[in-house]
Amino acid sequence: MDKIPSRRQVAAMKQSLFDQGYLDEQFIQLEELQDDANPNFVEEIVTLYYRDSSRLISSLDHTLESNPLDFNKLDTIMHQFKGSSSSIGAKKVKAECTLFREYCRARNGEGCRIWKHKIPDTRFVRVSLVVIVVLLCVNMQMQEELPTNEERICNTEKET
């Protein structure tokens, strides 16, 4: 039977992303905005980021295939990607976007094309965020289904 990771394991996975420089404090701020009135806030934000970044990466791939390169269009795409990465706390992706924009400003086509090889790293961040959110949601549902210590104590007192 598959074992669902505990909150501690999810926290360790998330901490690993922080330790490796993939995430920054902005992701924690997003988590803090989630409350009873907005219980799926982080999930919704991560889902939007995933969709938006997929679209932007696809547009970037297409634009990088054009000849000559449209540096203004590439810069605009990367500006959007950097903004959404920054708002979700994807620190390493944001840094890579900054570097790519410098290549655009310098009209460095080779630098832009080399960056394309770093796209798998951005996909890793996006997938990791989705996994964390899914695991957090599963753990929250499990916690709702499991009685709390207080509930267990109350039920035990009623039985005696």
pLDDT, tens digit (0-9, with 9 covering 90-100), for 30-75:
888 888 888 888 888 888 888 888 889 889 889 999 999 999 999 9
Q: Domain residues for 85? A: 7-139
Amino acid (one-letter) located at 64: L
**Which residue, 79, 62, 58, is CA-closest to 70?**
62
pLDDT, residue 54, reads 83
For residues 94, 98, 101, 103, the Cα torsion angle rounded to the nearest 10 degrees is: -130
Which CATH number does the domain housing residue 40 bear? 1.20.120.160
Better pLDDT: 21 or 133: 21
Q: How many CB atoms lie within 10 A of CB 124?
A: 15
The tally of CA atoms less than 13 A away on the side-chain side of residue 91 is 12
In a domain, 144, yes or no: no
Per-residue pLDDT at 123 exceeds 60: yes
State the total domains in the chain: 1
Whether residue 122 is contained in a domain is answered as yes
| 142 pLDDT higher than 50 | no
DSSP conformation class of 21: T
